[in-house]
C-alpha cells in the first residue's frame, strides 16, 4: 500500500512526456548485453603461464570459506570454450559482451616484467571472435582478482598499487585498445573494499573501516590515473570510452515521513555508492559530505589523531573529478533503511560508521539462490532517477549488471528469472521515459558461474551449466530467460505473455 502510493507519486513527478510520447519500445541507440568476469568463468587457473591471484589462494588455502567447497579452477572452462560463449551471445543477439581480463593471465606476477604471451593470445582471439560476429566487447580491466604477488605487498591498501594498476592498464590499452572501444577500469570497488576488508571476500582481511577506506582511496587514484593516461596517449587514436562500475542497492526510507529514516537511506547510498561516484561524477568532486563528516567525527571520538577516511591532494581531486565518459551501475536489489543509533564502537567498523538498519519488506519476493536479494523492480527506476537528479541528467548511464539468483538445481523453465528480467527492464524503460539517460543494459550473467563464496550454489546464468556433470562437461544450455531476452532484443519490446518457441531458438 505504502509503496504503491510512492509509485504513483513518482509517475506523476517524472512523466514529463505525455502518454502518447512515452516510448513503449527501447530506442534505437539502446544496447543490450550480458556480463561475466574472468575468475568466475575461465577456469584453467594454472595453465600456460597464468599466475596466482587472491581468489586462487583463497579457494585453495581455505576451501571452507566457499559454501560448497568448490573453486574456479575449472569454472565454465571459458579459457577453452570461448567459441561456445560467442555462439550463445550470437544466439541471443546481444549487442555487446562485458567480460574481464585476468591480470595474472597477462602478467603472472602483476608487474610488467612478466608478460605472458598465452594471455595475450587468449584475449586476442576472444576479442577478434566477438568483433567478427558483430558483437562489441566491453572490457573490465580489473574484476577482483588481484595478483597474489601484489597482495603480498598489501594489495589495494599499498599506495604502490596505483602505479602497478596504471602500468597494467597502459599495457592493456596498447595490446587491445586498437579493437576495444568500451573500457571499465574497476568493477564494484564498494563490494571489493567493503567485503575484502570485513573478512568476507578475498583477500579476507580484518580491517573494517580502516583498510576499507585505504583500499577505496587507492581505487579512486588508480581510476583517475588510468583515465588521464588514456586521455593523453590513446583517446585520439583509439576513440574508446572509459568508466568505472559501481554497485548499489536502492535504499528506501523505512518510513518516508520520518526525516531520520530519509537521512539513514541517504547515508547508506552515500557510503556505498557516493563513496566512489561523488569524487568522480559530482561537479564538486571528493567524498560525499555526509560520509566525510561522519567518519571524521567517529574517528575523533575513537581517539584517532586523523580521520580514518584519507584525504586527496588538490591535484588528485582534479585528476579524479570528471574522469569518466559514462557511469557503470550494477544494481540487483532494494533495502528499507532506518537509523540504527549505535553507540560509537571502541574499534572501527564500517557497520558502526554507516549506522543504519537495512531490511526487506516481508511482502517482497526473495531470490532462490544464496544471495537472497529482494525482487523490487521499482527500485531500479528510483535509483536511476536519483542518480540523474544527484549527479546530473547529462551523464550517460550503462546498467552494467542486473540479474536474478537461482538455486543450484533450478529448472530450465526459470520463470522467476524471466519475471525479474521483464519487470526490471520495464522499469528501466520507465526511467528512460522519465528522462534519465540510460543507454545500455547488461544482464548478469551470460551463464552459470563461480559465485564467489557461494560457489556453484547460486545460479545467475541465462544459460545453465551442469557443474555436477561427472564427466566434467560444461555444455551451455539455454534457460527460458535466454529465449525471452532474445525476444526482447529482437522486438525491442517487453512482452510479458511471450512464450518462447524453443525449436526456433535453437536454430537462430
Q: Give min distance, CB of 403 to ligand BGC, in A.
A: 7
How near is the Cβ of 120 to ligand BGC at its closest, in Å?
24
- Which position among 386, 444, 463, 485 is part of the footprint of ligand BGC (CB under 6 A)? 444
**Binding pattern to ligand BGC, positions 454-483, x when CB under 6 A?**
------x-----------------------
Is residue 207 within the footprint of ligand BGC (CB under 6 A)? no
Cα dihedral sign, 86-460-31-425: positive
Site for ligand BGC in 260-289 (CB under 6 A): none
37 sits near ligand BGC (criterion: CB under 6 A): yes
CB atoms within 10 A of CB 444: 23
Distance from chain centroid for Cα 443: 11
Q: Of the candidates 178, 110, 109, which has an alpha carbon nearest to the alpha carbon of residue 139?
A: 178
State the minimum distance, in angstroms, from the CB of residue 347 to ligand BGC: 27
Q: Given the complex with ligand BGC, which of 355 and 405 has the nearer CB atom?
A: 405
259-269 and 289-301 helices cross at what angle (nearest 10)? Answer: 90
Kindly state the cell numbers that stand for 508: 537462430
Residue (270 or 371) nearer to ligand BGC, CB = 371
Residue 38 or 429 with smaller CB distance to ligand BGC: 38
Task: Return the residue of 56, 261, 401, 410 that touches ligand BGC, per CB under 6 A.
Answer: 401
* Listed ranges 186-194, 311-319, 334-342, 417-425: which one lies at the site for ligand BGC (CB under 6 A): 186-194
Least distance (Å) between residue 245 CB and ligand BGC:
8
Please report whether residue 145 would count as binding ligand BGC according to CB under 6 A. no
Q: Which of 377, 401, 398 is nearest to 451 (CA)?
A: 401
Instruction: Verify cis geometry, omega within 30 degrees of 0, for the bond prior to 203.
Output: yes
Asked if 188 interacts with ligand BGC (CB under 6 A), we say yes
Of 26-34, 160-168, 187-195, 420-428, the segment contacting ligand BGC by CB under 6 A is 187-195
Specify the residue, 188 or 355, whose C-beta has the smaller distance to ligand BGC.
Answer: 188
Binding to ligand BGC by CB under 6 A, coded x per residue (else -) over 324-343, reads ------x-------------
CA 399 to chain centre: 9
From 202, 275, 211, select the one nearest 244 (Cα to Cα). 275
C-alpha cell at 365: 519476493
Q: DSSP 3-state assignment of 504?
A: helix
Taking the complex as a whole, the smallest distance from the CB of residue 207 to ligand BGC amounts, in Å, to 20
Q: Single out the residue of 116, 191, 218, 481 in contact with ligand BGC (rule: CB under 6 A).
A: 191
Give the total of residues touching ligand BGC (CB under 6 A).
Answer: 12
Q: Which is nearer to ligand BGC, 230 or 443 (CB)?
A: 443
Q: How far is the CB of 371 from ligand BGC (least distance, A)?
A: 6
Measured in residues, the chain has a length of 508
On whether the CB atoms of residues 291 and 311 are closer than 8 A, the answer is no
Smallest gap from Cβ 191 to ligand BGC, in A, equals: 5
Q: Give the integer Cα–Cα distance in Å for 123 and 173.
A: 13
Q: At what angle do helices 377-391 and 2-14 cross, to 10 degrees?
A: 40
* Opening angle at CA 453, ends 449 and 458, nearest 5: 45
Buried (b) or exposed (e) across 251-287, using 16+ Cβ within 10 A?
bbbbeeeeeebbbbbbbbbbbbbbbbbbbbbbeebbb
Task: Select from 187, 212, 334, 433 the one that contacts ligand BGC (CB under 6 A).
Answer: 187
Q: Using alpha carbons, list the distances in angstroms from residue 449 to 61, 105, 225.
A: 21, 19, 32
Who contacts 258 (Cβ-Cβ below 8 Å, separation ≥6)?
A: 338
Q: Is the dihedral of CA 240, 241, 244, 245 positive or negative?
A: negative
* Residue 112 DSSP class: G
Binding segment (CB under 6 A) for ligand BGC, from list 90-98, 159-167, 184-192, 315-323: 184-192
CB closer to ligand BGC out of 148 and 187:
187
Nearer to ligand BGC by Cβ, of 142 and 312: the residue is: 142
If the CB atoms of residues 37 and 457 are measured against ligand BGC, the closer one turns out to be 37
The three-state secondary structure class of 255 is coil
CA distances from 242 to 36, 253, 416 (A): 18, 33, 34
Q: Which is nearer to ligand BGC, 368 or 451 (CB)?
A: 451
Q: Which of residues 368-387 bind ligand BGC (CB under 6 A)?
A: 371
**Minimal distance, residue 7 CB to ligand BGC, in Å:** 26
- Cα-atom radius of gyration of the chain, to the nearest Å? 22
Q: How far is 80 from 73, CA to CA, in rounded Å? A: 13
Region of 109-117, 185-193, 259-267, 319-327 interacting with ligand BGC (CB under 6 A): 185-193
Residue 42 contacts ligand BGC per CB under 6 A: no
Cβ proximity of 109 and 51 under 8 Å: yes
- The stretch near ligand BGC (CB under 6 A) out of 25-33, 183-191, 261-269, 315-323 is 183-191
Residue closer to ligand BGC by CB (options 37, 151) is: 37
Q: Evaluate the omega torsion of the peptide bond into residue 445 and state whether it is cis, within 30 degrees of 0.
A: yes
Given a contact cutoff of 8 angstroms between Cβ atoms, the answer to whether 3 and 377 are in contact is no
Nearest position to ligand BGC, beta carbon: 188
Catalytic residues: 188, 401
Residues 243-262 that bind ligand BGC (CB under 6 A): 247
Q: Which residues bind ligand BGC (CB under 6 A)?
A: 37, 40, 187-188, 191, 247, 330, 371, 401, 444, 451, 460
Amino acid at each position: 500500500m505504502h509503496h504503491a502510493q510512492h509509485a504513483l507519486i513518482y509517475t506523476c513527478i517524472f512523466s514529463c512526456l505525455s502518454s502518447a510520447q512515452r516510448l513503449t519500445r527501447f530506442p534505437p541507440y539502446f544496447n543490450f548485453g550480458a556480463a561475466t568476469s574472468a575468475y568466475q568463468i575461465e577456469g584453467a587457473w594454472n595453465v600456460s603461464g597464468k599466475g596466482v591471484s587472491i581468489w586462487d589462494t583463497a579457494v585453495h588455502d581455505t576451501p571452507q570459506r566457499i559454501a560448497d567447497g568448490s573453486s574456479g579452477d575449472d569454472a565454465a572452462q571459458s579459457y577453452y570454450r570461448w567459441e561456445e560463449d560467442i555462439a550463445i551471445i550470437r544466439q541471443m543477439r546481444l549487442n555487446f559482451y562485458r567480460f574481464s581480463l585476468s591480470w595474472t593471465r597477462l602478467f603472472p606476477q602483476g608487474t610488467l616484467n612478466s608478460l605472458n604471451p598465452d594471455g595475450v593470445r587468449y584475449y586476442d582471439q576472444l576479442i577478434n571472435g566477438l568483433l567478427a560476429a558483430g558483437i562489441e566487447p566491453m572490457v573490465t580491466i580489473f574484476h577482483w582478482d588481484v595478483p597474489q604477488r601484489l597482495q603480498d605487498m598489501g594489495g589495494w591498501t599499498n599506495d604502490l598499487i596505483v602505479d602497478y594498476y596504471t602500468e597494467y592498464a597502459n599495457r592493456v590499452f596498447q595490446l587491445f585498445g586498437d579493437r576495444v572501444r568500451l573500457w571499465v577500469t574497476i568493477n564494484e570497488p564498494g563490494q571489493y573494499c567493503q567485503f575484502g576488508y570485513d573478512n568476507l571476500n578475498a583477500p579476507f582481511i580484518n580491517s573494517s573501516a580502516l583498510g576499507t577506506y585505504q583500499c577505496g582511496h587507492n581505487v579512486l587514484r588508480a581510476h583517475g590515473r588510468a583515465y588521464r593516461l588514456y586521455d593523453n596517449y590513446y583517446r585520439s587514436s583509439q576513440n574508446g570510452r572509459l568508466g568505472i562500475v559501481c554497485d548499489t542497492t536502492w535504499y528506501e526510507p523505512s518510513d518516508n515521513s520520518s526525516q531520520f529514516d530519509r537521512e539513514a537511506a541517504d547515508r547508506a547510498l552515500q557510503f556505498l555508492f557516493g563513496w566512489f561516484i561523488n569524487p568522480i561524477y559530482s561537479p564538486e568532486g571528493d567524498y560525499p559530505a555526509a560520509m566525510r563528516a561522519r567518519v571524521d567525527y567517529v574517528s575523533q571520538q575513537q581517539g584517532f589523531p586523523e580521520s580514518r577516511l584519507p584525504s586527496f591532494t588538490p591535484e588528485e581531486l582534479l585528476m579524479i573529478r570528471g574522469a569518466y565518459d559514462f557511469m557503470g551501475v550494477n544494481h540487483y536489489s532494494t533495502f528499507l533503511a532506518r537509523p540504527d543509533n549505535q553507540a560509537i564502537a571502541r574499534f572501527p567498523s564500517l557497520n558502526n560508521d554507516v549506522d543504519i538498519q537495512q531490511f526487506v519488506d516481508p511482502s517482497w519476493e526473495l531470490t532462490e539462490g544464496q544471495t537472497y536479494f529482494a525482487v523490487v523492480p521499482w527500485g531500479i527506476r528510483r535509483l536511476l532517477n536519483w542518480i540523474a537528479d544527484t549527479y546530473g541528467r547529462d551523464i550517460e548511464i550503462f546498467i552494467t549488471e542486473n540479474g536474478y539468483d537461482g538455486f543450484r538445481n533450478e529448472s530450465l523453465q526459470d520463470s522467476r528469472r524471466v519475471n525479474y528480467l521483464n519487470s526490471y527492464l520495464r522499469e528501466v524503460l520507465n526511467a528512460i521515459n522519465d528522462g534519465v539517460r540510460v543507454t545500455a543494459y547488461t544482464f548478469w550473467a551470460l551463464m552459470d558461474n563461480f559465485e564467489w563464496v557461494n560457489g556453484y550454489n547460486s545460479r545467475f546464468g541465462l544459460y545453465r551449466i551442469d557443474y555436477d556433470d561427472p564427466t566434467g562437461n560444461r555444455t551451455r544450455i539455454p534457460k527460458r530467460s535466454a529465449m525471452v531476452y532474445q525476444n526482447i532484443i529482437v522486438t525491442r519490446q517487453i512482452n510479458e505473455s511471450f512464450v518462447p518457441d524453443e525449436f526456433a531458438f535453437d536454430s537462430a
